[in-house]
Amino acid sequence: MTKLSAKDAIKKIQAEYYEEANRAHEEGKLVAWVTSIAPREFLEAMDIVTVYPENHAAAIAAKKGSMEMIDIAESMGYSADICSYARVNLGYVEKGDSAAGKVPYPDLLFCCNNICDTVTKWYEILARRLNVPLIMIDLPFGFTPQPTEHQLEYVVGQFENAISQLEAICRKPFNYSRFEESMHLSNQAALLWKESMEFGKKKPCPFNGLDFFNYMAQIVCSRGNEKAVEFFTLLRDELGEKVARGEGYLAEEKYRILWDGIPLWYNLRLMNNTFKENNAVMVGSTYPDNWAVTYDTTDLKSMAKAYMGNFSNREFTFRFHNMLRMVRDYSIDGVVMHCNRSCKNQDFAQYALAREITKVTGVPVTIVDGDQDDPRAFSEAQYVTRIQALFETIERSRN
C-alpha cells in the first residue's frame, strides 16, 4: 500500500474535512465557528463540528476569491482598516458561497482571544448577525512574563462556565471522558507538530517551510481528535526519513530564512518562487509554533496557561526571546517580517523586534508590506525588491 506524501495527504484530508463539515447539519450535528487557537477540546467532547473562518478566509484568498467577499463587507460599511479575515468572512456570511466553496453556518460561536482583540469584535458581530450564542474564552494578555495566579483562576472559571453553556446549547451533559481523550490527543498532535517543525533545524532543511502553512490546517482544525495525530505522525515520519537520508528540500541551500507572521495567501506562488529561484529556504516561521500547545491534562490551570502562551498574547521580552531562540537554533541567515496590514497586534512590535534581533545576532531583517488576505495592500515589485536586498545583505556579510 503506497503511503501518500504529506503534501498530497493534507489536500485529501482538508477536502474530507470540509465535506464532513458541510454534511454536519444533515447528520444532526451542531456546527461551531471557532477562532484558530481556541481550546477545541471542549467542542470535541460534545461532538460539535468545528469550522474555522480564518482558515476558510485563507483558502478563499488562495483561490483568488477574497476581493469578492471584501467588496461585500466594505459596501456594508466595514472599514478597509479592519482585519481582512473578518472582512472576507463577513462578506461570506452575506453571500453564502465562495471561490473556496461553502462552509455551514454556525449554531454557536466559540471565540478565544489569545490571538488578538479583533476576534472579540468580529465574533460579537457574528453573534448578532447570525443570532446564535457566543461562548467567549477570554485569555488575558500577558504584560508580565508569566500569567498570574488570579489570571489562571479566571480562565479556569471561564472553562467551567463554557461547559455549562455547552450543556445548555447541546441539551446533554458534558462528556468528560471524551474531553479527557481529546486533551490527550491534542497534546499528542501538538508534540508531533513541534517535532516536525523542529526538523527545520537540520542542515540541509528537509522541507519547504511554506508547506507548513498548508499542514497547519490540521493542527488548527483537528487538534484534539485522531485525525490530527494520524496526519502529524505521517508528517513527522516522512521528514524524519528525509533527515536520516540527508535529503534537503534544496540541492544547494544558500540562505536559511525565518518568516515572521502570516503568509500572503493570495500569492503563495510568488513567495515560493522568490525563495526557490535564489536557493533560499524558509526553515522556520514564528507562526506555526503557536499551535505547539502542550499541557498537563489533569490540570485545567496548566491548560489555561498553555493556551495563553502563544507569542501574540505575550509581552515584548517573550517575543524577542522567542525569535532569538529560533534564529540561533535554526541557523538563520536572514529574517523576513511580514508587516501584515491586518495584524496590528504583531506589526507594532516589529520595528523594535527587528532592531533588537539584528543588534544581538547580527542577522539582517527585512520587513515586507502586505496583507494576509487583501491583495490591494501588497505590491509584488516591492516584495521582490526587499527580499533580493536581504539576500544581497547576507552575501555582503559573508565576504
| Interface residues toward other proteins, by CB under 8 A | 67, 71, 74-83, 86, 113, 116-118, 120-125, 127-128, 134, 136, 138, 140-141, 143-144, 148, 150-151, 153-154, 156-158, 160-161, 315-316, 339, 341, 343-345, 347-352, 375-376, 379, 381
Dist CA 379 CA 370 (whole Å):
7
Closer to other proteins by CB, 78 or 105: give it: 78
Instruction: Give least dist CB 150 to other proteins, A.
Output: 4
Query: Looking at the DSSP assignment, which residues form a beta bridge with residue 335?
Result: 258, 365
Instruction: Give least dist CB 319 to other proteins, A.
Output: 8
Closer to other proteins by CB, 156 or 250: give it: 156
Instruction: Give least dist CB 279 to other proteins, A.
Output: 26
Dist CA 358 CA 134 (whole Å):
43
Which spans in the chain are helix H? 6-23, 41-45, 53-62, 66-75, 84-95, 118-130, 149-170, 176-198, 212-221, 226-245, 268-276, 300-307, 316-329, 344-347, 350-361, 380-398
Angle at 143 between CA 309 and CA 41, to 5 degrees: 25
Phi and psi at residue 277, in whole multiples of 5°?
Answer: -60, -25
Closer to other proteins by CB, 378 or 391: give it: 378
Closer to other proteins by CB, 64 or 202: give it: 64
**What letter represents residue 208's amino acid?**
N
Instruction: Give least dist CB 184 to other proteins, A.
Output: 26
Closer to other proteins by CB, 23 or 376: give it: 376
Supply the DSSP string of 151-183, one letter for each residue: HHHHHHHHHHHHHHHHHHHHTS---HHHHHHHH
Closer to other proteins by CB, 282 or 308: give it: 308
CA atoms within 13 A on the CB side of 97: 0
Dist CA 38 CA 221 (whole Å):
10
Instruction: Give least dist CB 302 to other proteins, A.
Output: 18
Dist CA 172 CA 164 (whole Å):
10
Instruction: Give least dist CB 91 to other proteins, A.
Output: 12
Dist CA 197 CA 288 (whole Å):
8
Closer to other proteins by CB, 1 or 381: give it: 381
For 182, residues 6+ apart whose C-beta sits below 8 A from its C-beta are 40, 41, 44, 45, 224, 225
Instruction: Give least dist CB 345 to other proteins, A.
Output: 4
Instruction: Give least dist CB 285 to other proteins, A.
Output: 20
Closer to other proteins by CB, 4 or 130: give it: 130
Peptide bond into 204 cis (omega under 30): yes
Written as nine digits, the cell of 200 is 527545520
CA atoms within 13 A on the CB side of 19: 6
Query: Looking at the DSSP assignment, which residues form a beta bridge with residue 32?
Result: 50, 108
Instruction: Give least dist CB 181 to other proteins, A.
Output: 26
Written as nine digits, the cell of 61 is 484568498
Instruction: Give least dist CB 190 to other proteins, A.
Output: 25
Closer to other proteins by CB, 331 or 379: give it: 379
Dist CA 70 CA 61 (whole Å):
10
Closer to other proteins by CB, 279 or 317: give it: 317
Closer to other proteins by CB, 176 or 351: give it: 351
Instruction: Give least dist CB 220 to other proteins, A.
Output: 20
